[in-house]
Amino acid sequence: MNAEIEKYRWNYVEDKKYPCNETKTMIASRLEKVENLPDSFLTREIEQRLWHIIYSINDKAEFEKALKTFAQKHSIDDYSFVEAFRKFPPFKSEYGSFSEKAIKKLLPLMRLGRYWSWENIDESTRSRIQKIITGEYDENIKDRVREMAIKLLNETNFQGLQVWLAQYVVYGRHSEAAIAGKWNSIDDLEKYLSEFKQHSLRNPIVEQIITETLRVVKDIWKQYGSGGKDFFNEIHIELGREMKQTREERERDTKRVTENENTNHRIKALLAELLNDGEVENVRPYSPMQQEILKIYEDGVLNSDIEIDDDIVKISKMAQPSSSELKRYKLWLEQKYRSPYTGQVIPLNKLFTPEYEIEHIIPQSRFFDDSFSNKVICEAAVNKLKDNYIGLGFIKQFHGMIVDCGRGKQVKIFEVNEYEEFVKRHYANNRGKRTKLLMEEVPEKMIERQMNDTRYISKFISGLLSNIVRAESNDDGVNSKNVIPANGRITSQLKQDWGLNDVWNDLILPRFERMNVLTKTTNYTTWNEKYQKYLPSVPMTESKNFQKKRIDHRHHALDALVIACATRDHVNLLNNQSAKSDTKRYDLQSKLRLKEKWVDSEGRERDRFKEFRKPWESFTQDAKKSIGKYCSKLQAKPTRNQ
């Protein structure tokens, strides 16, 4: 046997788990705990019945009741059976995304070698395949399908197909969904609503969202389009990205949000402590920019190779450290952080001066990533020199160069080997940032991931809305090309560039001024030097769980306005869908953004792209005027019993 093993090799990634019939294994392992169970009990039929109970019943009490009924029906010990299965882990949300009928049609095309058989392919699919091979006309086989299968020249080619190609062969599109169609009038939409079966999606909240959304669309269609064909030519949509998350992902995000809240509180408290320190320059505790700078600085220290005392680690996880703990933490931070491109220490007392800036490792013009993992702090002069380069690419271009930082200070850009060694050592505990710092170009996988940002949109609702705007040709996917998806990062960027964050501050400022009057303090407003006006503010002791955006419901109108004005070009550019292009989509940059001239280190005049142009000249003023007309409603926090 050992001699035979030597002839073969494991053709998959080492140390990675590959689930093989996970469901049956989980069921069989629990059946072993059931008393006096016959060895032949687990048949194919029993497995499917058990699976259906586990998959379809979410309520704990109903689940245990169904298990007991199942045990009694099959004359097995109900107590040990229920005990064995009552804590069966729920399946991931992706589980069951294909129906049994679809799997039976797709698998025969996906099998390979001795596991594949032409006879196992269902008759209707075999007929479609023959027409695809011979080119025989069939109105149900679209040109798109023939294009996808152009290299499949005979029957034996139809094995080992990828899922998406198997779906095209079987269904004529990349899904089994029957919802892909065209609604030509409001009557088609009303027909769908009238035939919609309650509990068909197994989630009453999702069903409610879908039906309410369709009723709103129906009312708009009726009111403004008289229910006629092709009234809508595009639908812009933004849905919460958590709709596609598994329970584990939601729990992980909740934990991260809590940690971020703790960090925000600690950072504000630390800035307030630094304000009283005469050695630290230019401190503004309520400045969002300075809060972000200090968070990046802290992250750089905590995730470096520096040995950290347990007491310091404890403080770094607190939301509100004591005054003495803050002083100790401040002293610890003062001597630790270094610029990733020069290795020079960034002194805490100079951190908030113009000498240092936040720098995007992967420039936003090349890949839209405004996340914390894509930001470092470096010398302002080095940031200017880096321009549109990615971390390692910048080092390879300018390694060893002496950069004048002003005031008689000069720094030297790392040599390539010095830089790589520094990053690997100082970012050993920060995998995301380390990976980005060692990039020379944006990997294809990252580009593909951003190209697929529609993963944040519920497939079902976007598929339904696609039926309203589907084009007559070349638009047979579940999601129509005329549904324009936007995610939270895109709307946040446009709100900032179009001045709508300032509009929001102006709209809610009277409430905060009123709080000053009621409390006889000035704690609820803060003076902003840059804009020369007062901005809403919340005292540190009251800021936990407070979100300025959600103080009333008018933020929904603001978001809707941004989504409506975000064009396909905005979405394409910000998702960096064309990052593979040699031109880096300067055409869209020029079309959508303001720009200014600047001179690089070699004396060449170049364009620097700035914020996005507004949809029209008076957009910001019009938005403030229109949204200001709405009566705001306080956002009440629901109680446990609501």
H helices present in 86-162, as ranges: 100-110, 123-134, 143-148
Q: Give the pLDDT confidence score for residue 456 in this predicted structure.
A: 34
554-565 and 619-627 are packed helices; what angle lies between their axes, rounded to 10 degrees?
A: 150
Please, which pLDDT band fits residue 247 given cuts at 50, 70 and 90?
A: low
Please, which pLDDT band fits residue 454 given cuts at 50, 70 and 90?
A: very low
Mean pLDDT value across residues 73-81:
91
CB atoms within 10 A of CB 636: 7
Q: Give the pLDDT confidence score for residue 633 in this predicted structure.
A: 54
Residue that is written with structure tokens 């972000």 in the block? 292
pLDDT over 90 (residue 238): no
Identify which has the larger pLDDT, 223 or 252. 223
Q: Give the pLDDT confidence score for residue 265 in this predicted structure.
A: 81
Q: Give the pLDDT confidence score for residue 200 in this predicted structure.
A: 62
Q: Give the pLDDT confidence score for residue 1 in this predicted structure.
A: 53
pLDDT over 70 (residue 147): yes
Mean pLDDT value across residues 395-416:
91
Q: Give the pLDDT confidence score for residue 544 in this predicted structure.
A: 66
Instruction: Tell me how far apart the alpha carbons of residues 422 and 416 are, in angstroms, rounded to a whole number.
Output: 10
Instruction: Tell me how far apart the alpha carbons of residues 131 and 153 are, in angstroms, rounded to a whole number.
Output: 11
Q: Point out the least confidently predicted range of 7-11, 436-440, 516-520, 603-607.
A: 7-11
Q: Point out the least confidently predicted range of 321-325, 381-385, 597-601, 632-636.
A: 632-636
Mean pLDDT value across residues 206-231:
87
Q: What is the pLDDT of residues 482-506, one digit of tens each?
A: 888 877 778 888 999 999 999 999 9
Q: Is residue 482 a contact partner of residue 475, using CB atoms and an 8 Å limit?
A: yes
Q: Point out the least confidently predicted range of 330-334, 476-480, 593-597.
A: 476-480
Residue 614 DSSP code: P
Q: Give the pLDDT confidence score for residue 577 in this predicted structure.
A: 42
Identify which has the larger pLDDT, 440 or 157. 157
pLDDT over 90 (residue 459): no
Instruction: Tell me how far apart the alpha carbons of residues 215 and 486 are, in angstroms, rounded to a whole number.
Output: 22
pLDDT over 60 (residue 354): yes
User: Which range scores top for mean pLDDT: 42-51, 249-258, 266-275, 365-374?
Assistant: 42-51
Q: Give the pLDDT confidence score for residue 640 in this predicted structure.
A: 35
pLDDT over 70 (residue 119): yes
Please, which pLDDT band fits residue 477 given cuts at 50, 70 and 90?
A: low
Identify which has the larger pLDDT, 142 or 403. 403
Identify which has the larger pLDDT, 219 or 526. 219
Q: Give the pLDDT confidence score for residue 202 in this predicted structure.
A: 53
Please, which pLDDT band fits residue 446 given cuts at 50, 70 and 90?
A: low
Q: Give the pLDDT confidence score for residue 460 in this predicted structure.
A: 73
pLDDT over 90 (residue 168): no
Please, which pLDDT band fits residue 476 given cuts at 50, 70 and 90?
A: low
Q: In this structure, what token pair is assigned to residue 338?
A: 């270094």
Q: In this structure, what token pair is assigned to residue 267?
A: 């950072």
What is each CA distance from 458 to 188, 236, 244, 255, 462, in whole angstroms?
21, 13, 7, 23, 6
pLDDT over 80 (residue 6): no
Q: Which residues, at least 6 apart from 97, have a Cβ–Cβ distance to it below 8 Å?
A: none
Mean pLDDT value across residues 151-167:
88
Mean pLDDT value across residues 267-279:
80
Mean pLDDT value across residues 278-296:
82
Q: Point out the least confidently predicted range of 167-181, 282-296, 553-567.
A: 167-181
> What average pLDDT is seen over the chain?
80
Question: What percent of the chain lies above the pLDDT cut of 70?
Answer: 82
pLDDT over 90 (residue 562): yes
pLDDT over 70 (residue 90): yes
Identify which has the larger pLDDT, 239 or 38. 38
Q: Give the pLDDT confidence score for residue 216 in this predicted structure.
A: 92
Instruction: Tell me how far apart the alpha carbons of residues 34 and 430 are, in angstroms, rounded to a whole number.
Output: 47
Identify which has the larger pLDDT, 209 or 7. 209
The residue among 436, 419, 311 whose CA lies nearest residue 363 is: 436
Q: Give the pLDDT confidence score for residue 242 in this predicted structure.
A: 43
Instruction: Tell me how far apart the alpha carbons of residues 431 and 110 are, in angstroms, rounded to a whole number.
Output: 36
Q: Is residue 400 a contact partner of residue 421, using CB atoms and an 8 Å limit?
A: no
Q: Give the pLDDT confidence score for residue 632 in this predicted structure.
A: 60
User: Which range scores top for mean pLDDT: 11-15, 196-200, 468-472, 575-579?
Assistant: 468-472
> Is this structure's pTM higher than 0.85?
no
pLDDT over 90 (residue 543): no
How many CA atoms does the CB half-sphere of 377 hold within 13 Å?
Answer: 28
Q: What angle do CA 240, 245, 250 make, to 5 degrees?
A: 95
3-state secondary structure 312-360: HHHHHCCCCCCHHHHHHHHHHHHCCCECCCCCCECCHHHCCCCCEEEEE
Question: What percent of the chain lies above the pLDDT cut of 90?
Answer: 21
DSSP-derived pairing of the beta strands 402-406 and 409-412: antiparallel
pLDDT over 90 (residue 272): no
